[in-house]
Every structure is written in C-alpha cells, then in structure tokens.
Amino acid sequence: MSPVTVVVGSSVGGVRTAQALRAAGYDGDVVLVGEETVAPYDKPPLSKGLLAGTSTTADITLLTEQAAREAGIELLLGRAASGLDVAGRRVELDDGERLAYDDVVLATGARARPSPWGALPGVHVLRSLADATALADDLRQGGPLVVIGAGFIGAEVAATARGMGVADVTLVDPAPVPLSRALDVEVAGILARLHAENGVHTRFGVGVEGIERVAGGLLVRLADETVLPAATVVVGIGAVPNDDWLRDSGLRLDDGVVCDAYSRAAEHVYAVGDVARLPHPRRGGLVRAEHWTNAVEQARTVARTIALPESPLAHVPVDYVWSDQYDRTIQLTGRTGGTLAHVLVPGPDPDRAFAALYADADGTFAGAVTVGWPRALVTCRKAAGQDTGTSLEEIRQALSAPRPGVRKEAAR
C-alpha cells in the first residue's frame, strides 16, 4: 500500500502543498479536497484584475483537471470536510465518506467576516470567485458604491471600482486612517490622500450604524448621522479562519489551528496558510499570517516534511504582503505601524514612490512599507527576514545611496 496524503482545501495553500509533494519526490497518493465546484483559483486577483474584468477565470486558475491528472493529484471538488478523526487518521466529508490518510494537511483558509449589518441584496463581501463575480455584476451597473472597511480588501475594491468607471465611491472606516492595523497615522494619511486624489470620498474615523434597504437602493447610516445612499455596499472587515469543522477533532483551536514550528497540529496533521497559527520567532507568540507568500512558502516546507519526514523543515511565517491600489504597488514587510518610530525615505520619483522604515526603540530596523518602489522593498524584506538586527540607519543609507545595481537600460 502506498501512503496517502489528504490535503483539505483547494486554494493556493492546498494546491501548492499537493504540487510541492510531487516536486519533493513524494510517491504516495495525493488527494486534494475542495469545497467549491470550480477549478482551484488564486485569490489576490479577485479584488483587482478579476473584479475589473481585465483577467478571466481561466487566467486565475491554479490547477486544471488536466494538470492535476498529469501531476498525479486526485481532485475531489465540491466536497466539504466536516470532521477529522486524528487517532483513526480519517477525514470525514459532509456526504458521509471517510478518507483514510497517512498524513493530512489542513488548508481550509479563512472566510470573509460577515456583515454585522445584515445580508441585504446589494451588500457584498469579497473572498470567493462567486463573491467577485456577483460584485463585478453590480459594479458594472454603476454607483454609488460604499465600501465599509479600509483594509487591503476595501482599499483595493475602492481603487478597482474607480478604474471600472464607478463615479461615486465612498470608503468608510471607524479608524482615523486606512490600514490602521498595519500603519501609523502619518504613512496611512499619505494612502488616504491617494484615495482622495483618485476621486474616492473618504469617511475615516466614523463608524457604521446600520444598512437598510429602501425603494431604489440602500442607505448606509453612519455614527455621525450621515446617511450615504448606495446601489452597492462592500463590507471588508477582515476574515475568520475556517476551523469550525475541526471543533470535535481534539486539535487545539485558537482563532486558527495551533501548530508547532514545523506546522504540525498533531502527529501526521499539518496546517498551511490562513487557517494555521504558529510560533513566530521574531514576534514572539503565535501568529496567523493571512498572506499569499506565507501560504506558498509554508506549503513548500510542509510538503518537504511529509516527503522527507526524517528531516522536517521549520516554517518561519513570512511577513510580506502587497496591495495594488490605483497605479501603485504598496508592499509591507516585517513589523510596521503601531508605536514603532519611523522615517520616510523618498524614492527615485519622490512624488510617486517612497519607503517608510520602522524601528524598535533601540534603532533596530523592524519593517517597512514601500509605495511604488519594489527595489526598496527587496532591501527591506531581506533585512526584516534576518535574525541579526540591522539598524534603521543602515537601511536608510542603502536606500538613499545611488544604486550601482541593475540599470533600466540593461534590463530591456
């Protein structure tokens, strides 16, 4: 009998784990279980190109049936896992089938936090392809659009809607600035102005009281008694991990599946991606990283560990996230915002590009946000990933120095 690995969850973490098992030389059976019936797809484009209509479902497909066959991955789509028997090594599906495994990978991701103001027609969340398709249909009817929540998803939806020609877009957040969990007030203020410059009305620092349906549309009531008429509302207020199905498994759940440094929740049970909570050596404590790059990297390490169990690979959560808003790429690495001290470094085109560098009290570089300046991000991300501290001043000088590196002319 050849061994069997069951991967539960068919978004990027699950698909990449299945593929990486083969790349690592795993010769057992690989079964990939996905709740949705559509072919596995990539999620970052859902708030960008897919929503705008500039990329298609085919463009964002992660694994076609043919590619799965060729890689020896058995795809079970439209099948939701409902339980896990850790001692008996079985995954229970909601149609009653039980899948035996030698190793199992939990990659069920996260879902959009539902609207606390009711699920009225015209009120959307954005997490799945179906969500994106439904939202795109509504946005093509025009505005007004009210986006509640100025995190990554909300900010990207507002930017994409403007690009689609939606005239009347309002971005609302109870925090005084966008991306308030990740950025300080000064840097976030620059991004707030980016929205305003692109014609988005911003209502920061005011909460939402309720949403109601009236003849001809929706009304969003704010805490300051403003009423915003809307044809479409998007609620982008975070995500919650899909760990409910593991409630009776005996695994430790704490806003995600708690794992050790090897992404192990129990013997032969691993978790990957948004659903996994694991120790972060540089932050201290357990972290649930909700980022694409982290999921991809963790998929690789878990697959190697399953294929070569005698030399397990630890996973250090990857602190890197990007966001595309208007014509800018915003990139964050390491620890940013909060009470950390920061300096701003102008980019090659100071009107369009800058880096904000953050440091701990002793001047040690902690992390950065770069706007329109990917080269600076590389320097910052390498430094943020090192265990030995680099000083903020060192990074600032490296970014400010004339770059002897690759010139544009040489690249083309």
Partner 1 sequence: MAIVKADLELCQGYANCVVAADDVFDLDDDGVVVLLRAEVPESDVDRVTDAARSCPVSALLVETP
Where does this chain bind partner 1 (CB under 8 A)? 16, 23, 42, 44, 292-293, 296-297, 300, 320, 322, 324, 329, 331, 348, 372-375, 377-378, 381-382, 385, 403, 405-408, 410-412
Residue pair 146/233 in contact (Cβ under 8 Å)? The answer is yes
Residues forming beta bridges with residue 202, ordered by sequence position: 171
Alpha helices in 117-209 (DSSP H): 129-139, 152-163, 185-197
Q: Least CB distance from residue 323 to partner 1, whole Å?
A: 11
Q: Least CB distance from residue 411 to partner 1, whole Å?
A: 4
Q: Least CB distance from residue 348 to partner 1, whole Å?
A: 6
**Which pair of tokens denotes residue 2?**
């050849």
Q: Least CB distance from residue 280 to partner 1, whole Å?
A: 18
Q: Least CB distance from residue 324 to partner 1, whole Å?
A: 7
Q: What is the C-alpha separation between 199 and 44, in angstroms, rounded?
A: 24
Q: What is the C-alpha separation between 321 and 297, in angstroms, rounded?
A: 13
Q: What is the C-alpha separation between 107 and 95, in angstroms, rounded?
A: 19
Alpha helices in 168-311 (DSSP H): 185-197, 292-307
Alpha helices in 38-92 (DSSP H): 49-52, 65-71
Q: Least CB distance from residue 32 to partner 1, whole Å?
A: 17
Return the number of the residue (191 or 296) whose C-beta is nearest partner 1: 296
Q: Least CB distance from residue 3 to partner 1, whole Å?
A: 22
Return the number of the residue (328 or 342) whose C-beta is nearest partner 1: 328
**Which pair of tokens denotes residue 149?**
């929540």
Q: What is the DSSP string of 237-275?
A: --EEES-GGGTTS---BSSSEE--TTSEEETTEEE-GGG
Return the number of the residue (242 or 301) whose C-beta is nearest partner 1: 301
Return the number of the residue (117 or 320) whose C-beta is nearest partner 1: 320
Cα 331 to Cα 139, 194, 376, distances in angstroms: 27, 15, 10
Q: What is the DSSP string of 352-384?
A: T-EEEEEE-TTSBEEEEEEES-HHHHHHHHHHH
Return the number of the residue (10 or 370) whose C-beta is nearest partner 1: 370
**Which pair of tokens denotes residue 286?**
């357990």
Return the number of the residue (285 or 405) whose C-beta is nearest partner 1: 405
Burial of 205 (C-beta count, 10 Å sphere; 0-12/13-18/19+): middle
Return the number of the residue (121 or 412) whose C-beta is nearest partner 1: 412
Please provide residue 298's backbone torsions phi and psi, each rounded to the nearest 5 degrees. -70, -35
Q: What is the C-alpha separation between 121 and 216, in angstroms, rounded?
A: 12
Return the number of the residue (283 or 403) whose C-beta is nearest partner 1: 403
SS3 209: strand
Q: Least CB distance from residue 374 to partner 1, whole Å?
A: 3
Q: Least CB distance from residue 39 to partner 1, whole Å?
A: 15
Return the number of the residue (339 or 407) whose C-beta is nearest partner 1: 407
Q: Least CB distance from residue 154 to partner 1, whole Å?
A: 20
Residue pair 345/190 in contact (Cβ under 8 Å)? The answer is no
DSSP state of 159: H
CB atoms within 10 A of CB 21: 29
Return the number of the residue (143 or 372) whose C-beta is nearest partner 1: 372
